[in-house]
Structure formats: C-alpha cells, structure tokens
Structure 1
Amino acid sequence: MDQERPLPPVIERMWGREPAPRRGPRPRLDLAMITAAAIELADADGIGGVSMAGVASRVGVAATALYRYVGSKEDLLTAMADAVAPLPPDPAGLPWRDYLATWTRAQRDIILEHPWVLTISPFVPPMGPRRLLWLDRVLTALDGTGLDDGERINVASTLTGYALTDAAVVYGAGDPAYEKAGISGADEFGAALAEVLDPATYPALSAAVRGGVFSGAEGWVNDDDFLFGLSLLLDGVEQLIARRGGVS
C-alpha cells in the first residue's frame, strides 16, 4: 500500500493542521500574524523589503523565532501569496459568464493592489486555502454548463493567467525605467516603436504603428483593452459549452 505523502510543513500550517503544543505557554505568534506582517512590508517596500529579520522585528521577536512557523523565506512567500487573497466573489445568483468576468477582474485588481505577487512564482498550482477557494467558486459557477471537471479547471487556469498577464502589463507601464526613457503613455510607446522598427523585417507591426494604433489611446492601461481580451476568452468558453450541449 502506498504511504501518504506528507505535505510541506508550511502548507500544513496554512491549513491549520499544526499540532497544538502539549506543554508550556501558548505561543503568541502564528502563521497568520507573520504573513500579515510580511504583506505589510511588501506593500510598503516591494518584495525586496521582505526579510526574515524585518518580519521578526515587525512582530517583536527574534528572527530565529520565525523558523518555527516558516522554514525559509520561500515558505514565507508561499504563505503570503495565499494570505493576500481576500474571499472570492459569491457566485450565487449570477450567470456563469457574469461571475467569471467578475472573478477575473477581481483577481487582476488584487495583483494591481499588491504587485509584488507577480514575483512569487504565480504559475505554481495553488495549495493554500484562500486560492483554492477561488478555484472552487469557478467550478461552482460552471456547474450545469456541460463542462467536465478538467475543462472547468482549465477555464479557471486560463482566466487566472489572463488576469496575471494584464496586471503585469498595466503595472509595467508605470515602470520608472520607461518614464526615464520618456515613455509614459501609449503615444510615447508608439513613437519609440516607430523609431526602431524596420518595415522590411516587421512589415505588419510597422504598418500598424505608423498607422497610429497606439495614438490617442491609453493602450495597455485602458480598461477597454482588458474587457476586449476577457470577452474573447469568455466567448471561447461559451462556444465550448455550446459544443458540450450545456446551458450557456
């Protein structure tokens, strides 16, 4: 018989499965307090501002005391990526398409509020209670559509990837490196591309840029762009549901 594979200690703690101590005073720290302090540091100074020593100072203990709860900074980042997610929107009463649109936008907004999340292995499958709750709600919203479990999980993964990508582009548009180069908007970006693109090598892109595709618009930070991409994805889901004979 196969033996059960033990979960990493930090995952066990994220699920509240750490055994309570039998003797001695009750510990005044827990993983939730530590991750909350780390998130505050990351929000203020970016992920580079998060260190075990800095978190320990914030919660008023020695750095060595943290290792009882998180074995490494990587464990701490894993816990932070889950804890930063609020409760997902409630799918009750919403058509699946409306819910998935709300769910995807909410994911993007979380990342824009906490952009350091982009640096924490965002494409690793979720293992924490908060992120898995978000996945559960998509599966619930897609009940009755005719999609099987694997297809519904793939829909969630695709929409999560879109939220991450869009948030990264929006966040990147405000990168100081672009501002230093004089690129602070779509017009400047288009002008910079027009300078470097060789029409012989990039004929289609050069024609689009010189035709003003970026002119007079917010480009990558325009919410219309987000909705356009989201509609493309949801149209595809709708077509898949129709092929499966489910409720659209």
Structure 2
Amino acid sequence: MPAVSAEEGHTAGTGTGRRRAGRPSAAVLDKAGITTAALDLVSRKGYDGLTMAALAKQLEVAPSALYNHVASKRDVLLLVEDHLTSLVDVSAFGSKSWEDAVRTWAWSYRDVFAEHTPLIPVIAVLPVTDAPQTLAMYETVSKGFLDAGFPEERIVSAIVALESFIFGSAYDVTAPGDIFEPGSMADANPHFTAAVRSSAGPGRPADTAFGLGLEALISGLGALRGQAG
C-alpha cells in the first residue's frame, strides 16, 4: 500500500482540506453588479426588457439569488436611479455663483440622461425614498438655492421646472438631425422653413436649444431670489 502524507490523509479522511482553485460555483452578486446588468438590459432592450427574470439571466444566477439582494423591480430601479444621479456634477454649488452652479448641474444632468433615455419616463416619476445618492444631489442643490436667496417654499418647484426641461432636452440629443425638415411641404410653410434653415450652425442643434432654454430659465428663476413666497 503506497504511503500517504499527513496532508493527503487529512484531506481524504475529513474532506476539509485546502479548497481547489477555480471558478466559484455561482456568480458573486452585489448591488453594483445588479445595477450594471440592469443598465445593460435597458440599453439593449428598453425599459420593458428589464424584468427580474431577464436580470437574473443576465447575471447568470437563479432568480432566488437575485431576490436575496433586491426585493422587487422597484428596488432595481432605485439602484439605477441612484447610480445615474451620482454621476451628475453638483460640485459648483457652494464654490461658484448660483448661475454657474445651475449651468454646471443642468448640463451634466442632461448629458447623463441623454445616454439613458429609455429610463427617463420611469425615473422622472420614481419616488426618491430610500435613494441616498439622489437625495444627496437634491440636498446639495436645495442648499445652493437657499444660500442664493431663494424662498424655501419655491425651491422644489424651481428644481422640478429645471428637471422637466432637462429630461425633455435629453431626448432632443438623440433626435434625428432633420427632425424639423418640412420636405415637400416647405413652400406651404415658408416662415417655419426659413427659420429652420437659418438656425443651422456649427454646433449641435440640441446643444444650441438647450443653452438657449437654460439661460432663459436661469434668468427667470433668478428673479425669485430675495423674494418672499
């Protein structure tokens, strides 16, 4: 009978020897991985393609394993919302003028969501309860408005007005370049046709429109500063 080393005997006799190197038997799940997979699903299949079953398949785990981390699709959406909101730049609040801070925040906000337009209809109406990064963004922006002299009771309405414009403008980034081309109806609509053709310039039309609208909002909302509600 061949000799058996002490280590080999321990392994054979108890089954508690050193674990063999290799891939784990199941994927390791965490919230960051779930968020990444959800964003990938939405980018490929749209919001309707984001289901718990599809997400589990994307992550190569059983649905029961997924439910150990998120209780529902709403929980997944909160993770996605929080991730996207964490990418929005709010650093100018407290370090620059209110106008420049709003510009930095709004342009960043638009650019983040222009990359994820299928999620806008959902996230725009998703309650922010239990979304720490989203609440942190609103906290920073609210303080910036308050410090700039906005009446406290008008801050949320001002933010919503800006967000409505930002979300709509995010869609505009992905619109076709000829969206306003009247085609064969050009002669029947001469004023609009002339306006469309005279608006052509070196920059992206979506950026030009966003800049124009944002400056109008900043100017209009700025008039509220120092006013009582």
User: Would the TM-score normalized by the shorter structure come out above 0.5?
Assistant: yes
Identity percentage of aligned residues: 26
- Which of 190, 197, 204 does residue 181 from structure 2 map onto? 190
TM-score by length of 1: 0.68
Aligned partner of residue 168 in structure 2, secondary structure: helix
Structure 1 position 231 matched with structure 2 position 215: yes
Query: Contact 1:39–1:84 at 8 Å: present in 2 too?
Result: no
Counterpart of 2:139? 136
Within 2, Cα distance between the matches of 1:242 and 1:207?
45
What SS class does the counterpart of residue 147 from structure 1 fall into?
coil
Partner of 1:6: none
Shift of 1:62: 0.5
Other-structure match for 2:96 = 94
Q: Report whether the alignment pairs 1:209 with 2:199.
A: no
Structure 1 gap segments, 5+ residues each: 1-26, 175-183, 198-205
Contact 1:35/1:83 (CA < 8 Å) preserved in 2?
Answer: yes
In 1: Cα distance, 2:134 partner to 2:70 partner: 19
Aligned-partner Cα distance in 1 for 2:99–2:170: 21
Distance 1:193 1:148, change over 3 A: farther
Q: How many residues align?
A: 197
- What is the match of residue 145 of structure 1? 148
Change over 3 Å in CA distance of 1:106–1:35 after alignment to 2 = same
Give me the whole-angstrom Cα distance separating, in 1, the residues matched to 2:94 and 2:67: 41
Residues 38 and 55 of structure 2 are in contact (CA less than 8 Å); yes or no, is this contact kept in structure 1?
A: yes
Shift of 1:162: 0.9
Residue 115 of structure 2 corresponds to 113
- Gaps of at least 5 residues in structure 2 are 1-26
TM-score w.r.t. the length of structure 2 is 0.73
**Cα offset for 1:209?**
1.1
SS of the equivalent of 2:224 reads helix
Choose 219-228 or 95-104, whichever is displaced more: 219-228
- 2 CA distance for matches of 1:229 and 1:221? 12
Distance 2:184 2:166 in 1: 26
Which has more radius of gyration? 2
Distance 1:122 1:145 in 2: 26
Match of 1:222 in 2: 206
* Per-residue deviation, 1:61: 1.3
- What's the CA shift for 1:28? 4.6
How far is 1:195 from its partner? 6.0
Q: What is the deviation of 1:111?
A: 0.8
Q: Deviations over 1:169-222 (max 9, x none)?
A: 332x23xxxxxxxxx415xx231494697xxxxxxxx56314x11114359833
Q: 2: distance between equivalents of 1:125 and 1:208?
A: 43
Residues 148-175 of structure 1 show CA distances to partners (whole Å, capped at 9, x for unaligned) of 322122221111111001112332x23x
Structure 1 residues 143, 62: CA separation in 2 closer, same or farther (over 3 Å shift)?
same
